[in-house]
Amino acid sequence: MLDSDEIAHVLAQRLPTCRGVVEYDRATTRTRIRLVDQAPIDVPALSGVGRVHSLGIDLSTRDDGLGSIVAQAFLERRRCLNASLSSVGTGLVRRRHLGTRDDLLLALDEVLGQVPALIAELRTAWARAAAEYYLDSETGARLSVPEAVARLVAAGHLPTLGVSAEDAVDTYLASWRAEESPHTVAGVVMAAQRAAHEGSWRTRWADETAEEAAAGLLYQTVSWRLDAVDA
């Protein structure tokens, strides 16, 4: 069994050029470790100033042995320190915290070994999202970003994180305007990423929840056709 401080030390050895942030909840012993490498990674669909990505590893665990160790690779967009998580199955490894030390170290190495596939997958996903728009599910008509965001919140694709639906929509749209984002699906995903870190949310781990929602928007293309919101 590895305690979170030893896991952080092992990750630092595996990724010596990374910077890191550690969050710890004393009540639950939950720990979240995020390491980001400074080397740039090109994502052609998001080329331009402020849209350079770096590789990172996100790991969560609990020191009481009741949870799992979950590790996931991601790419972080440097402009506002937002992260796009990979889809489930690429870069995601889950292990019971009760395994042997060697088992857990193997899990961390498994995550790092999946990084090339993650980068290729994310490039493809961003290229697709940059070419598509949110559409009305019945008519197929293109939705404006404000209408798309309102529908995404109403459908639960974007979380409200302790605030009203109206305030959540306003927060996502403020991030969209701050990003100078396009009107495509990619623009809305980038807005959700920024809001994850800059929104005035009221739940713990809100940034993580919002990042996961943004990843869902990027990969779950079924959410790109949205039902109208009932009055």
Final residue of a domain: which of 127, 161, 188?
Answer: 127
Q: How far is CA 216 from CA 12, 48, 193, 222, in A?
A: 29, 24, 11, 10
Choose from 85-94, 117-126, 160-169 the range with maximum mean pLDDT: 160-169
Q: Is 231 inside any structural domain?
A: no
pTM of the full predicted structure?
0.72
Arithmetic mean of pLDDT, 10-27? 79
Of 23, 31, 88, 20, give the one whose Cα is nearest residue 55: 20
Residues 121 and 137 in one domain: no
Query: What is the reported pLDDT for 89?
Result: 45
Query: What is the reported pLDDT for 15?
Result: 75
Arithmetic mean of pLDDT, 153-164? 95
Residues 18 and 66 in one domain: yes
**What does pLDDT average to over the chain?**
80
Final residue of a domain: which of 71, 106, 127?
Answer: 127
Give the tens place of pLDDT for each residue, 32-72.
Answer: 888 888 777 777 777 654 466 777 777 777 766 666 677 77
Tokens 């949310």 identify what position? 201
Of 179, 186, 74, give the one whose Cα is nearest residue 126: 186
Collapse the DSSP code of 201 into the 3-class scheme (helix H, G, I; strand E, B; otherwise coil) and give the result.
coil
Distance CA 146, CA 172 (A): 9
Q: How confident is the model at residue 10 (pLDDT cuts 50, 70, 90)?
A: confident
Residues 12 and 99 in one domain: yes
Q: Is 80 inside any structural domain?
A: yes
Query: What is the reported pLDDT for 49?
Result: 47
Final residue of a domain: which of 77, 94, 127?
Answer: 127
Q: Is 178 inside any structural domain?
A: yes
Residues 69 and 95 in one domain: yes
Q: Is 51 inside any structural domain?
A: yes
Distance CA 160, CA 168 (A): 5
Residues 85 and 41 in one domain: yes
Q: Is 211 inside any structural domain?
A: yes
Give the tens place of pLDDT for each residue, 95-151.
Answer: 554 556 677 677 777 767 777 777 788 788 888 999 999 999 999 999 999 999 999
Can you give the residue range of the structural domain that contains 147?
A: 132-226
Residues 55 and 143 in one domain: no
**Higher pLDDT pick, 80 / 8:** 8
Q: How far is CA 105 from CA 17, 25, 42, 46, 110, in A?
A: 19, 23, 29, 34, 9
Query: What is the reported pLDDT for 101?
Result: 67
Q: Is 26 inside any structural domain?
A: yes
* pLDDT for residue 223 is more than 80: yes
Question: What's the structural domain count of the chain?
Answer: 2
Q: How far is CA 50 from CA 40, 79, 160, in A?
A: 12, 5, 27
Which range has the worst mean pLDDT, 15-19, 56-60, 88-92, 103-107? 88-92
Query: What is the reported pLDDT for 64?
Result: 67
